[in-house]
């Protein structure tokens, strides 16, 4: 997998805003300043990893370079990450028109809230439960080591 670094990824333009060197990104990582890593297979971006001192977000891109899944991890004590939010999107055919999204909010005690939104009708379904969250924990990434965060099944 190839890695390209930038200041930020544009979801609208589906490309990086400002490409930065690996050295600059490494310096940002060391100083706990924000940067973005684009993980590509061939020339197609597959994962967008936004790294900062307080959070790490991973966006999973489909074949049309649309976000179909996003994981938001919060940095906790001891440089551990906890998956706080997961968002899934569905689209209308090959367009960028979102038809629905599901949002999951997780707490360390196992409490999980789910909201499913039909973006066409405005209908919202909500659920709450308690479950296992052992799979929500990860280590804060070492520079250039992001693929373990890019697993969809948690």
pLDDT of residue 81: 97
> Taking a C-beta distance cutoff of 8 angstroms, is the pair 89, 67 a contact?
yes
Q: Whose CA is closest to 19, among 8, 34, 10?
A: 8
Examine the domain organization and report whether 73 and 117 are in the same domain: yes
Residues 6+ apart with CB under 8 A from 149: 49, 56, 58, 71, 73, 81, 138, 141
Is the residue at 148 inside a domain? Answer: no
Terminal alpha carbon distance of the chain: 21
Domain membership of residue 147 (yes or no) is: no
Q: Which residue segment(s) compose the domain that 3 sits in?
A: 1-53
User: Which of 53, 73, 88 lies at the terminal end of a domain, its last residue?
Assistant: 53
The number of domains in the chain is 2
Asked if residue 70 is part of any domain, the answer here is yes
Q: Answer yes or no: do 48 and 7 share one domain.
A: yes
Residue 108: which pLDDT band, with cuts at 50, 70 and 90?
very high
| Residue 153 within a domain | no
On whether both 38 and 79 belong to a single domain, the answer is no
pLDDT tens digits along 84-107: 999 999 999 999 999 999 999 999
Cα 147 to the center of its chain, rounded Å: 12
In this structure, how many other beta carbons lie within 10 angstroms of the beta carbon of residue 88? 16
pLDDT of residue 43: 87
Whole-number Å distance between alpha carbons of 113 and 93: 28
Structural domain includes residue 41:
yes
Q: How confident is the model at residue 77 (pLDDT cuts 50, 70, 90)?
A: confident
**pLDDT at residue 64 greater than cutoff 90:** yes
């Amino acid at each position: 997998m190839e890695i390209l670094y930038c200041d930020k990824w544009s979801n609208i333009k589906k490309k990086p805003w400002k490409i930065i060197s690996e050295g600059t990104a490494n310096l940002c990582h060391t100083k706990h300043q924000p940067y973005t890593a684009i993980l590509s297979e061939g020339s197609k971006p597959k994962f967008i990893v936004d790294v900062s001192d307080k959070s790490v977000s991973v966006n999973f891109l489909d074949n049309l370079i649309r976000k179909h899944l996003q994981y938001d991890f919060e940095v906790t004590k001891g440089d551990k990450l906890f998956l706080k939010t997961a968002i899934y999107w569905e689209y209308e055919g090959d367009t960028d028109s979102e038809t629905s999204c599901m949002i999951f909010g997780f707490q360390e005690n196992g409490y999980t809230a789910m909201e499913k939104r039909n973006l066409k009708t405005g209908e919202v379904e909500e659920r709450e439960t308690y479950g296992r969250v052992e799979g929500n924990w990860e280590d804060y990434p070492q520079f250039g080591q992001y693929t373990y965060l890019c697993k969809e099944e948690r």
